[in-house]
Amino acid sequence: MRHRILILGAGYAGASAAGYLARHLHPDDVEITVVNAGPDFVERIRLHQVAAGRGPRRHGLAEMFAGTGVRLRRARVTAVDAQRRTVTVVDDEGTDLLAYDTLLYTLGSTIADHGVPGVTEHAFHVAEGPAALRLRRRLDEPGGDGRVLVVGGNLTAIETATEIAESHPGLRVALATTGEPGGWLGPKARRHLRRAFDRLGITVHEDTTVTRVRDDGVVTADGTVLASDVTVWAAGFAVHPIAASSGLAVEEDGRITVDTMMRSVSHPGVYAAGDSVHALGENGRPLPMSCASAGFTRMRATAAILADLTGRTGMRTPLTYFGNCIGLGRGDGIFQPVDGEARSSSWSLRGRPAAGFKAFVFRGTIWNMAHPTYGLPARRRRLVGAPVRSVEMAAD
């Protein structure tokens, strides 16, 4: 019987991990199955653009996995039993139970509502493909002169507000945040961000805590009502509760607790990558939920799986976060580098050069998803076809 590798989620971490493992483990030894609710790879870092009317481009997972031997199972994960090594999934035909020998958990994250009433009922968001399309349809409704309020002050909120304001100049766009939007940026980058907001006519409500979302706006902590026809919730991310209920060791925020190679500290044969994992960077701080972190943790996790199954040690990718790349519409942006302590440097790339750099990142990311072995020396590919051992043998 072949060793069963089950990968949950086909985002930035899961999709590339599947292709990478398939190209390094012999199909006679392993079977690799990816479980994903939809048929396509979703460029999550572009969903604010999708909501504003750009795209989306289709990247079919079946086409991405063609020739790799990876099996795609379209279904929604509802439960994981780490003790019995099974995963419960639901699709159009009903409920099924999938068994595994090795599990890679990459289910990602969704919006964090922070317990604020009304978010689910009345707010839109751009954390998932269908949600971004739902917001797009709402913004495209006849009239085009309403009020849009984006709640949040970090990357997603900034990019969503600026993209909507540029693509829908008839809308009155505002942003509400508990502090200063982009407050972690260096001084020059913050000034550039302010100029971008002014250029696009975005009203900023600083030091504003939203305590309730209504169908006609939001209520703040001091009782003020900020009216809006469309409220977009972009106040951070949270992981799905499946990991916490699976028996796996997790952190307070529900992210899976792992060692330095993304192995679960509580269950042999379980690995995690992407937003689902609590990974400490080289500076000892948890990596932020991001596309970049998904790449670094995926590389660590797949290296660990290969090592544990073949006995051959692979390269150890540094877990270093380099900075924030922020789009401010089509021709403007900011790239803010950070130092080893995750503090923003005084230098930043701004304006059209930063927008060009972000477009380069977009193109490179999707190319990497389709070519998961890029840059790998040919001699390392001898890992493919190595004898597969059980996890228990590898641990001895």
Q: Looking at residue 343, what is its pLDDT?
A: 83
Residue 359 lies in a domain: no
State whether 20 and 116 are in the same domain.
Answer: no
Residue 326 lies in a domain: no
State whether 231 and 288 are in the same domain.
Answer: no
State whether 275 and 220 are in the same domain.
Answer: no
**Size of the chain in residues:** 396
State whether 261 and 221 are in the same domain.
Answer: no
Angle between helices 14-22 and 291-310 (to 10 degrees): 30
Q: Looking at residue 2, what is its pLDDT?
A: 87
Residue 221 lies in a domain: yes
Q: Looking at residue 386, what is its pLDDT?
A: 42
Q: What is the DSSP letter of 52?
A: H
- The model's pTM is 0.89
Question: Domain range spanning residue 195?
Answer: 111-237
Residue where a domain stops, chosen among 188, 217, 237: 237
How many Cβ atoms are within 10 Å of 342's Cβ, its own excluded? Answer: 16
Angle between helices 352-370 and 14-22 (to 10 degrees): 40
Residue 363 lies in a domain: no
Structural domains in the chain (count): 2
Residue where a domain stops, chosen among 207, 237, 267: 237
The torsion region of residue 375 among left (phi > 0), alpha (psi -120 to 50) and beta comes to: left
State whether 19 and 56 are in the same domain.
Answer: yes
Residue 346 lies in a domain: no
Residue where a domain stops, chosen among 202, 221, 237: 237
Cβ contacts of 47 within 8 Å, gap of 6 or more: 56, 126, 127, 128, 129, 131, 132
**For every one of its 396 residues, what pLDDT tens digit does the chain have, with 9 covering 90 and above?**
889 999 999 999 999 999 889 888 888 889 999 999 999 998 898 999 999 998 778 889 998 888 888 999 999 999 999 999 999 999 999 999 999 999 999 999 999 999 999 999 999 999 999 999 999 999 998 666 799 999 999 999 999 999 999 999 999 999 999 999 999 999 999 999 999 999 999 999 999 999 999 999 999 999 999 999 999 999 999 998 999 999 999 999 999 999 999 999 999 899 999 999 999 988 888 988 888 888 899 999 999 999 898 887 767 788 888 888 899 998 999 999 888 777 888 888 999 999 998 888 888 888 877 776 654 443 333 333 444 444 433 333
Q: Alpha carbon of 6 to those of 89, 99, 220: distances in Å?
A: 12, 8, 44
State whether 181 and 202 are in the same domain.
Answer: yes
Could you please report the per-residue DSSP string of 142-201?
TT---EEEEE--SHHHHHHHHHHHHH-TTSEEEEE-SS-TTTTS-HHHHHHHHHHHHHHT
Question: In this structure, are residues 98 and 299 in contact, taking their beta carbons and an 8 Å threshold?
Answer: no
State whether 137 and 33 are in the same domain.
Answer: no
Q: Looking at residue 322, what is its pLDDT?
A: 83
Q: Looking at residue 144, what is its pLDDT?
A: 63
State whether 375 and 273 are in the same domain.
Answer: yes
State whether 116 and 175 are in the same domain.
Answer: yes
Task: Give the CATH number of the domain where residue 133 resides.
Answer: 3.50.50.60
Residue 102 lies in a domain: yes
Q: Looking at residue 383, what is its pLDDT?
A: 31
State whether 244 and 233 are in the same domain.
Answer: no
State whether 118 and 226 are in the same domain.
Answer: yes
First to last CA, the chain: 21
Q: Looking at residue 374, what is its pLDDT?
A: 55
Q: Looking at residue 342, what is its pLDDT?
A: 74
Cβ contacts of 191 within 8 Å, gap of 6 or more: none
State whether 383 and 288 are in the same domain.
Answer: yes
Residue 60 lies in a domain: yes
